[in-house]
């Protein structure tokens, strides 16, 4: 899949301090889902949107409840399709998650994955999800297990999820954290 995805950082100085939607939080603090939606739109629709522009579009279009982004409405505004019926929520450790990600990628979609910090550790995490990453493709490595390559909007970097367990690690601020997928939001280009 995408070698040409443009990575975006939610806390980019150009938009990180702007209010997220209609709430008190900022894009830099809580705009990971918005930034993933922006990257998904750019890839699937061949656009060059930025999170601040998408934030304004979604706020004007009624896709926010405070700082909470309403994915289905945001997708509609961005000429995408995010079928609620295909979403997986709070499925910690469920084998459905990697199967769903593979199915979305196989059908020319892109998967936003809800991850929970530290839930991969014994007695860790609340399994509710703390962050979102954008799954780009499944990569098989000859010397190890398959992984999902993901764009992480917090550090603006590529991170990896084990394709079997959907666990990984990434740098958030100064701390390296373990995370596990707890949900999947399939995103597709809306047909005209």
Q: Specify burial of residue 28 (Cβ count, 10 A radius: 0-12, 13-18, 19+).
A: buried
State residue 172's pLDDT score: 64
Strands (E), the chain: 64-65, 68-69, 80-81, 110-117, 131-139, 147-152, 157-162, 167-172, 175-189
Domain assignments of the chain as residue spans, ordered by start: 84-189
Phi-psi region of 191 (alpha: psi -120 to 50; beta: other; left: phi over 0): beta
Residue 73 has φ and ψ, to the nearest 5°, of: -70, -45
Beta bridge partners of 158: 151
Q: How many percent of the chain have pLDDT more than 70?
A: 87
Neighbours of 14 (CB within 10 A): 11
State the Cα–Cα distance between residues 11 and 131, nearest whole angstrom. 14
What is the pTM (predicted TM-score) of this model? 0.91
Q: CB of 94 within 8 A of CB of 55?
A: no
> pLDDT tens digits, residue range 8-62?
999 999 999 999 999 999 999 999 999 999 999 999 999 999 999 999 999 999 9
């Amino acid at each position: 899949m995408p070698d040409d995805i443009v990575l975006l950082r939610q806390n980019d100085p150009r938009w990180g301090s702007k209010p997220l939607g209609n709430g008190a939080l900022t894009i830099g603090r809580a705009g990971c889902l918005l930034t993933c939606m922006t990257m998904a739109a750019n890839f699937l629709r061949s656009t060059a949107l930025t999170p601040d522009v998408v934030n304004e579009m979604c706020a004007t279009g009624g896709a926010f409840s405070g700082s909470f982004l309403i994915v289905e409405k945001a997708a509609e505004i961005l000429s995408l399709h995010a079928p609620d019926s295909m979403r997986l929520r709070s499925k910690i450790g469920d084998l459905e998650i990697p199967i769903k990600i593979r199915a979305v990628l196989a059908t020319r979609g892109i998967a936003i994955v809800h991850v929970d910090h530290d839930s991969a550790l014994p007695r860790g995490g609340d399994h509710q999800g703390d962050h979102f990453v954008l799954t780009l493709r499944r990569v098989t490595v000859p010397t190890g297990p398959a992984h999902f390559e993901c764009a992480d909007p917090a550090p603006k970097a590529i991170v990896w999820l084990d394709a079997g367990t959907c666990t990984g690690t990434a740098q958030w601020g100064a701390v390296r954290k373990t995370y596990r997928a707890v949900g999947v939001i399939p995103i597709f280009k809306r047909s005209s």
